[in-house]
Structure 1
């Protein structure tokens, strides 16, 4: 357990010294779970999407293949001291770049289904980009400086920045997930007795987003109580589960849109792009809708499945 800001992070340099068998087993199990989920998710993504394009498709795929996989493998190398230090650190750093900010982009890319304020959506995107640049660049510099310089100010800077990075990305994902909960709750209040099946879908959406928030909180708590090794190795497994939950969220959102369309005129079905198959779990529904004066103002007419690719 690491509590001092002046202490080297356990396992970052030369492997984890004095690791118990239980810790080693947990590290291997978490990493194996992350890799298994990543392999399974690749198949699910390609079977789910009708067209292999769009922001949602690419962020899901890249967050998984170039995020979860190298992050998990990199921390295994670091923990067990396999190969040169820079190999494991570089792999885990690349994985973090794709995995953590990528998760925020995944959440953003389907946000237009419930929120259709263009300025607000643009502001959310700018927030994600700003946080990514401000948090990733200093942390990367301090990581390599800690490995090769190992001075007390650098180590303290790394430990502070690492905690700040985890907290900020956690807050960002909790903010995005909370938006879904709030907007879904608004739809429930608008027509509470409209359709029991549709309401059940909305409650399931809320439950899934609550689970995502709880996983973020768990990682944050582990970071601040000093469980560096478990937090870093568990992170890949947690994000792989989040990406799998995305498929469930997407399916619920598509079902919700289909329910809305079934209550509307048949012409509403023409709004679906040609790559959306309403009878399958279809994921490429991520283009922000075009706004016009003729756009429906009905509370149940605000969802769109136009591609954001």
Structure 2
């Protein structure tokens, strides 16, 4: 199983090699474009939203580049497997934290937010780290023509990992739809049609994230390791661009004035794109629209 244990340059056809190179080009372009979006949007480089976005996008470029170098035997297999793991962890966990970092705008209950954060950390420690360790061991001690017990274990647990990560991201993106749907009718009174438009964007965010994750799972269960490894950064770069667009629209809508004298407006020091005050890592009283959309819900961690 050359893909799981080392280079594949001598075992794949030219069309497959071109597909892999094409996936690398797409993910690299998207990653560079996202960097431009990030540094044009954030005036102050601080807060969980900023750093999780940078982490996820950096992971996309690391994962795609190191996979290409490893597959085509440009760099040694063992060290590249460790670099691939680092890129994968940054890309996946970073993207989950991007989704998490804006949830406090629609969820006022700090206990819910805390459990979501614990879930993300738990999945990283209990699922992603063991899979990464197996991948490194497999690349140092496995062989392209022999399926060792480590290889079999890695193939099985990696499929489980993708399913768990897909469920995690579906829950995080689905919470935006659920929470916003419960407040949008009252929000429309003060903020107009933009509330309905944002709701549709959140729905599409959930649908696209779920569909892309399902496509990854299908490729994984089809045992197309070399395809799914280079396809992953493409999927995550598309999701990150979409999340960045939709979540920024959420920030601007929540922070903007509407058409009513009773409109809701967050204090200027809680503007997420510009200050460190909006940081879910730190204990604080969190401005939130809660579940009613009529007033702030504040609670201390």
Tell whether the structures are fold-level matches, with TM greater than 0.5. yes
**Aligned pair partner of 1:178 in 174, 178, 192:** 174
Preserved CA contact (<8 Å) 1:73 1:88? no
Distance in 2 separating the partners of 1:88 and 1:69: 14
The alignment partner of 1:140 has SS state of helix
| Residue segments in structure 2 that go unaligned for 5+ positions in a row | none
Alignment CA distance shift 1:46-1:55 (3 Å): same
Deviations 1:46-101 (A, max 9, x none): 11012110011001012112x01110011101221222112321221110010011
Aligned length: 291
Once the two structures are overlaid, the 10-residue window that deviates more, 104-113 or 221-230, is: 221-230
Alignment CA distance shift 1:85-1:117 (3 Å): same
Once the two structures are overlaid, the 10-residue window that deviates more, 165-174 or 180-189, is: 180-189
5 Å-filtered alignment, 1:119-268, equals 119-150=111-142, 152-190=148-186, 195-258=192-255, 263=260, 265=262
1:82 is aligned to 2:68 = no
Query: Hey, what does 2:107 align to over in structure 1?
Result: 115
Deviations 1:166-186 (A, max 9, x none): 111111111111111211222
1:20 is aligned to 2:17 = no
Once the two structures are overlaid, the 10-residue window that deviates more, 253-262 or 227-236, is: 253-262
Distance in 1 separating the partners of 2:255 and 2:271: 15
Once the two structures are overlaid, the 10-residue window that deviates more, 250-259 or 169-178, is: 250-259
Distance in 2 separating the partners of 1:147 and 1:52: 37
Preserved CA contact (<8 Å) 2:187 2:195? no
RMSD of aligned residue pairs (Cα, Å): 2.9
Distance in 2 separating the partners of 1:138 and 1:92: 14
1:58 is aligned to 2:51 = yes
Once the two structures are overlaid, the 10-residue window that deviates more, 173-182 or 281-290, is: 281-290
Preserved CA contact (<8 Å) 2:216 2:232? yes
Once the two structures are overlaid, the 10-residue window that deviates more, 224-233 or 148-157, is: 148-157
Deviations 1:9-48 (A, max 9, x none): 6264132543122211111111111111111111210110
Distance in 1 separating the partners of 2:291 and 2:65: 49
Distance in 2 separating the partners of 1:134 and 1:270: 37
- TM-score for the superposition, normalised by structure 2: 0.86
Q: CA deviation at 1:263?
A: 3.4
The alignment partner of 1:172 has SS state of helix
| Residue segments in structure 1 that go unaligned for 5+ positions in a row | 1-7, 305-309
Alignment CA distance shift 1:31-1:182 (3 Å): same
**Aligned pair partner of 2:42 in 26, 49, 61:** 49
Preserved CA contact (<8 Å) 1:63 1:98? yes
Distance in 2 separating the partners of 1:275 and 1:239: 26
